[in-house]
DNA sequence: TTAAAAATATGATAATTATCAGTTTTTGAG
DNA sequence: CTCAAAAACTGATAATTATCATATTTTTAA
């Protein structure tokens, strides 16, 4: 099994503040698993008992609305940690995590991380900064959801995908989302998302081949996102 | 000037984990000010250099969207602290705080709180829990904004006002919001908010006299909030 | 390989929400 | 108290978005 000291996850977030001996201890007790596309990593209401490190793959983090529709809160790439929040306040999960590609995920039991929280102030502080940053993003998302049109939100989402996941060798966005997932990110009906994507394609803002999306006119997309 | 040890703010949040001597130190260096209804406490982009404790009154925390409309992210009652996030990550304010009633606010300089963050792990942990809780609320708000109709959101907002601010002696909600503020909380046009409030009144869900709102049929309001 | 299922796409229409225009009511400064 | 400004309200209409129906394409599993 891979060691935490070399893991990509360790380089990209709060875990980077852990000492070598702390990492060794965690490495010894972690479990690793492969998750297939579509599989649920954890669901709303579950007791997590630890955090998940994403070594490879992408998952969506979502929540059911009382209307019975899924809202995707964010997409999580390799190198990230899931479940920190449930760890901190010891509540059941408020969100659901589902693989949207095949993934490799490590699980670190609650007690191990908690012990670091208590002993390593740098780690706590780093976690605090991560949360502050997440909170800022969440506030900005609230503003967008409340004030922007579906078209603006779609444009913005495409720009975010580019920033977070980049392109593969063919200048195709390195993430494959179903039209339904796209709709559930921007909070609209699947048909509306499809229509707007077609419109963007017709207007030469993007190209579309199935789930392969390329952005070809970033300035235009930015203008659309701001309401022009 | 009032002392921090007896302040209501101290009893309701992370500050409660501070020791007596820490509170005394803060008490000595804090400044206190009266803020009139409508006054801005801080604006987006400002460097805060400290946190604000609300001894009395209510303020709104909002952000301008690129469409030029204000979105109110939350309402903050006495006993709360503002600006913790800018403190943690040392960034300029992402949000604007405006008094919606006359207020009394204390300001604690950044260095004083930072010193507690570094020395008192209970305080850091408490702040972490607060942030985790805020983040959960923010995620739920995103779902509501993205998936619920304006009518559902208005119903939910009224229920939230009741939970957060309660009633005065005449069974009137203990917060006075303009119709524009109500619209900016639920993310709609002022006229739409007015129309829906009138509809709720006609349907005997609430009573309305100017800014005095009473909820008279909570079960019905809950049903509306869930889409029935 | 092929049939069934799922996903994508498109049209027609309904429902929701925003915008504009104008009126009435309330508020607050002098 | 008075009057001008702001806020609240109402109607008409336009724009956006959802829903339903159905066709086409893609994917999946046997």
Does any strand D atom come closer than 7 Å to the Cβ of B150?
Answer: no
* Domain end among B145, B180, B202: B145
Q: Mean pLDDT lowest for which of A2-6, A128-132, B219-223?
A: A2-6
A118 has a pLDDT exceeding 90? no
For residue B155, give the CATH number of its domain: 1.10.10.10
Q: In B, what residues contact A, Cβ < 8 A?
A: 63, 65-67, 69, 71, 73, 84-85, 88-89, 91, 94-95, 117-118, 121, 124-125, 127-129, 131-136, 138-148, 152, 186-187, 225-227
**What's the pLDDT at B3?**
77
For chain B, the domain total comes to 2
Q: Which nucleotide is nearest to A208 (CA to C1')?
A: C8
Bases along strand D below 7 A from a protein CB: 7-12, 16-21, 26-27
Do A27 and A102 fall within a single domain? yes
Do A105 and A196 fall within a single domain? no
For residue B29, give the CATH number of its domain: 2.60.120.10
Q: In A, what residues contact B, Cβ < 8 A?
A: 63, 65-67, 69, 71, 73, 84-85, 88-89, 91, 94-95, 117-118, 121, 124-125, 127-129, 131-136, 138-148, 152, 186-187, 225-227
- Report the C-alpha gap between B40 and B57 in whole angstroms: 13
Do B115 and B216 fall within a single domain? no
C-alpha separations of A21 from A18, A63, A87 in Å: 8, 37, 22
The residue of chain A nearest to residue B73, with distances taken between CA atoms, is A139
Q: What is the pLDDT of residues B114-145, one digit of tens each?
A: 988 888 989 999 999 999 999 999 999 999 99
Question: ∠A73-A181-B131 over CA atoms, to 5°?
Answer: 5
Do B138 and B156 fall within a single domain? no
Do A54 and A101 fall within a single domain? yes
Nearest CA to A30 out of A118, A104, A120, A96 is that of A104
Backbone angles phi, psi at A207, to 5 degrees: -115, 150
**What's the pLDDT at B117?**
87
Q: Which nucleotide is nearest to B186 (CA to C1')?
A: C17
* Domain end among A111, A145, A179: A145
Do A141 and A188 fall within a single domain? no
Do A196 and A182 fall within a single domain? yes
Residue at B2 is within a domain: no
A214 has a pLDDT exceeding 90? yes
**What's the pLDDT at B33?**
93
ipTM of the complex: 0.95
Do A183 and A93 fall within a single domain? no
Give me the B residues in range 192-221 that sit within 7 A (CB) of strand D.
Answer: 194-195, 197-198, 208, 210-211
Do B101 and B128 fall within a single domain? yes
**What's the pLDDT at A36?**
94
Do B130 and B191 fall within a single domain? no
B9 has a pLDDT exceeding 90? no
Q: What is the mean pLDDT of residues A117-144?
A: 94
Segment holding B33, helix H or strand E: strand B31-35
Encode A123-142: b = buried (16+ Cβ within 10 Å), e = exposed. bbbbbbbbbbebbbebbbbb
Residue at A110 is within a domain: yes
**What's the pLDDT at B209?**
94
Q: What is the pLDDT of residues A131-162, one digit of tens each?
A: 999 999 999 999 999 999 999 999 999 999 99
Q: What is the pLDDT of residues A167-200, one digit of tens each?
A: 998 999 999 999 999 999 999 999 999 999 999 9
Q: What is the mean pLDDT of residues B73-85?
A: 95
Torsion sign across C-alpha atoms B197, B200, B201, B206: negative
Q: How confident is the model at residue A10 (pLDDT cuts 50, 70, 90)?
A: confident
Q: Do residues A48 and A83 make contact, with C-beta atoms less than 8 angstroms apart?
A: yes
Taking CB atoms and an 8 Å cutoff, what residues of chain B touch A135? 85, 131, 134-135, 138
* Domain end among A112, A128, A145: A145
CB contact under 8 A, B121 and A125: no
Q: How confident is the model at residue A3 (pLDDT cuts 50, 70, 90)?
A: confident
Instruction: Estimate in Å the CA B202 to C1' D2 gap, whole number.
Output: 34
- Report the C-alpha gap between A67 and A69 in whole angstroms: 6
Q: How confident is the model at residue A37 (pLDDT cuts 50, 70, 90)?
A: very high
Q: What is the mean pLDDT of residues B65-73?
A: 94
The residue of chain B nearest to residue A122, with distances taken between CA atoms, is B118
Instruction: Estimate in Å the CA A67 to C1' D30 gap, whole number.
Output: 37
Backbone angles phi, psi at B176, to 5 degrees: -110, 110
Taking CB atoms and an 8 Å cutoff, what residues of chain A touch B94? 136, 139-140
Residue at A124 is within a domain: yes
A44 has a pLDDT exceeding 80? yes
Residue at B88 is within a domain: yes
**What's the pLDDT at A1?**
62
Q: Mean pLDDT lowest for which of A39-53, A93-107, B8-22?
A: B8-22
**What's the pLDDT at B38?**
94
Give me the B residues in range 174-193 that sit within 7 A (CB) of strand D.
Answer: 178-180, 190-191
Q: What is the pLDDT of residues B174-202, one digit of tens each?
A: 999 999 999 999 999 999 999 999 999 99
Do B139 and B152 fall within a single domain? no
**What's the pLDDT at B1?**
62
**What's the pLDDT at B8?**
84
Residue at B98 is within a domain: yes
Do B92 and B193 fall within a single domain? no
Domain that holds residue A161: 148-225
């Amino acid at each position: 099994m891979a060691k935490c000291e070399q893991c990509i996850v360790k380089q990209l977030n709060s875990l980077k503040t852990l000492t070598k001996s702390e990492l060794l201890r965690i490495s010894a007790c972690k479990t690793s698993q492969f998750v297939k596309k579509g599989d649920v990593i954890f669901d709303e209401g579950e007791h997590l008992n630890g955090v998940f490190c994403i070594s490879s793959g992408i998952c969506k983090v979502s929540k059911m609305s009382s209307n019975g529709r899924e809202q995707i809160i964010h997409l999580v790439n390799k190198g990230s940690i899931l479940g920190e929040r449930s760890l901190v306040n010891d509540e059941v999960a408020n969100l659901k995590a589902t693989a949207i590609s095949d993934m490799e995920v490590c699980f670190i039991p609650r007690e191990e991380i908690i012990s670091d929280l208590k002993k390593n102030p740098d780690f706590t502080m780093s976690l605090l900064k991560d949360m502050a940053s997440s909170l800022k993003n969440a506030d900005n998302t609230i503003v967008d959801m409340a004030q922007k049109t579906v078209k603006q939100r779609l444009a913005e989402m495409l720009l975010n995908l580019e920033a977070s996941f980049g392109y593969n060798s063919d200048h195709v966005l390195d993430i494959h989302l179903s039209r339904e997932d796209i709709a559930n990110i921007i909070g609209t009906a699947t048909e509306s998302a499809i229509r707007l994507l077609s419109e963007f394609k017709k207007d030469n803002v993007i190209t579309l081949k199935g789930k392969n999306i390329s952005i070809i006119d970033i300035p235009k997309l930015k203008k659309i996102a701001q309401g022009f």
